Amino acid sequence: MHFTSQAPPISRSKSYLHRATHETANRYLEKVRKAGSDDLVEGVVHEYGNAIWELVVVNIFPCDLLRKNFGATPYGRGVFYDYDGIEYMTDCKFRRMPSPPNFEAEMSGEGWCPVSRMDVFPEGFETFLLVSEKIRDAVMRHHADLFDAGFWQGTQEQIRRGAMQDFFSYPDSLRFCNGLGRGQTV
C-alpha cells in the first residue's frame, strides 16, 4: 500500500517502510490512525480500494473485504491474499438493500427478504469498512463507488462485453514511455 499520497520522501527510514509493508492493512491502518497520520491513512485507504478495483475488473470478487485480508508488497502496493474466498464477479448478484415492508419485519429475528448465496449488498460494506471518521472520509473521497450496487453491476456488464481495463502496478512516472524521453528506445 502506498503509505503516502506520493512516493515516500527520501528522509523516511527504510526500516520503517519495511516493517509497515509486512503488516496487514488492518493492523497498519489502526496504528497510523491512532498516531494521527492523516496522509498515511489516506494512502493506505487509497491502495486498499485500488487492490479491490484491480481484482473486480478482471472478474474476481473478493468475498471477504475485511482489511485483514489485504496487505502490502515491499514496494508499497496493496494486495489481496485471501484467495479461499473469491467468486467470479459475473456469478454474483449485486443488489441494493431492500427496505423492510414494515417496522415489525425490520425488528423481527426472522428474514423478511429472500437472499441467495450469491447475493451481495454493497451498502452493507460500510458496517465493517468505515470504522472511524478519518477512514470514512478517505474511503468516500477515493472509493465511494464500492458502496453502490450500480458500480458493481456496471463492472459486471463491462466484463460480459469483454471490455479490458488497464491498470499499472507502479506510478505513471516510472513507466518506460515516460522515463526514456521522446524518441529513445530500450
**Assigned C-alpha cell, 85:** 474466498
Average confidence score pLDDT of the chain: 75
Residues with Cβ within 8 Å of residue 168, at least 6 apart in sequence = 175
Q: Is the pLDDT of residue 159 over 90?
A: yes
pLDDT digits (tens, 9 = 90+) for 63-88: 877 777 777 666 666 777 777 788 99
Q: What whole-number distance in Å separates Cα of residue 54 and Cα of residue 78?
A: 10
Express each pLDDT in 89-139 by its tens digit.
Answer: 999 999 998 888 999 988 988 888 888 999 999 998 888 777 788 888 888
pLDDT at 69: 76
Cα gap 114→7, rounded to integer Å: 47
Burial class (CB in 10 A: 0-12, 13-18, 19+), 144: exposed
**Could you tell me what percent of the chain has a pLDDT over 90?**
24
Domain boundary assignment for the chain? 14-162
